[in-house]
Amino acid sequence: MGKRMKRKQYEETLRALQEALLALQLGIQARGARLLVLFEGRDAAGKGGVIHAIAERLNPRHCRVVALGKPDERERGQWYFQRYVAHLPTAGEIVLFDRSWYNRAGVERVMGFCTPEEYRRFLRQAPRFERMLAEDGILILKYWLAVSQEEQERRFAERAADPLKRHKLSPIDLAARERYEEYTRLREAMFRATHRPWAPWFLVDFEDQRRGRLNLIQHLLERVPIRAEPGPPILLPPLPGAPRAERRSARVEWVGEAA
């Protein structure tokens, strides 16, 4: 692969994109629009990092990240899409799914967590489900973060060696290491069955995570051209009198020393 992007260049470009994302969020709020973005990809592809880069500067009251765990006993008895419906965006909101209902088209099928019939039913129903969402006015973007097996192995090794990242390496991740080609085959079947004009898929090169994040954010901004500019700078009136220090309490222990 080519030379990886330097941190300084990445951070400077990301800041400009984050300002544009804030204008996008303000525009979505002003219009009462609803934006739903799904992030899919192999384990260690970089979904969490790009979601953080998008949401970091946005108002969390109008931008939610959804990362559901495995379904409980009650959810397993529901219609497959049912538990996701409660997390869809309301008017003026952005929702970012860190994995979504497309678990059924990948990890569930590979690991045998669903039957062949459940898998086939999902591929039939997903485009219909998403069409209903789109017809109701929800803007849908679906991103697949692409990474080679060699790069995935490098990231797995990094996680295994770092105590702060080791929790990201699950037994399912380890089992998936030997099934790279099977995931590729299922990904292509998923694209064929669910790539539709109202809910298109976009493939993003994430060999270099910094470059991948910037490319994805730029694409998202181009696909959703809704903007509202922030208001003018706020001029704070002068305080009456000198600033006061925080008053200490006799009832609660003070942690650390005041500067």
CATH number of the domain encompassing residue 118: 3.40.50.300
Chain mean position to CA 83? 18
- Domain holding 157, by residue range, is 7-223
pLDDT at 149: 94
Sheet containing 201-205: order of strands: 63-66, 93-98, 34-41, 138-146, 201-205
Q: Examine residue 14 and state whether it is found in any structural domain, yes or no.
A: yes
Shortest CA distance to 9 belongs to which of 218, 210, 219?
A: 210
Say if 250 falls within a structural domain. Answer: no
- The tally of domains found in the chain comes to 1
Write out the chain's pLDDT in tens, 259 residues: 568 999 999 999 999 999 999 999 999 999 999 999 999 999 999 999 999 999 999 999 999 999 999 999 999 999 999 999 999 999 999 999 999 999 999 999 999 999 999 999 999 999 999 999 999 999 999 999 999 999 999 999 999 999 998 888 888 888 888 899 999 999 999 999 999 999 999 999 999 999 999 999 999 999 999 999 888 899 999 999 999 888 888 899 988 875 5
Looking at residue 55, its pLDDT comes to 98
Tokens, residue 158: 């990094």
Comparing CA positions, the residue from 115, 109, 79, 100 lying closest to residue 189 is 109
23 within domain boundaries:
yes
Q: Rounded to whole angstroms, how far apart are CA atoms 28 and 219?
A: 17
In a domain, 237, yes or no: no
Q: What distance lies between CA 243 and its chain's CA centroid?
A: 42
**Would residue 204 count as lying in a domain?**
yes
pLDDT at 247: 87
Whether 239 is in a domain gets the answer: no
Residue 76 in any domain: the answer is yes
Torsion of the alpha carbons at 75, 78, 79 and 82, rounded to the nearest 10: -50
Q: Is residue 203 part of a domain?
A: yes
pLDDT of residue 173: 82
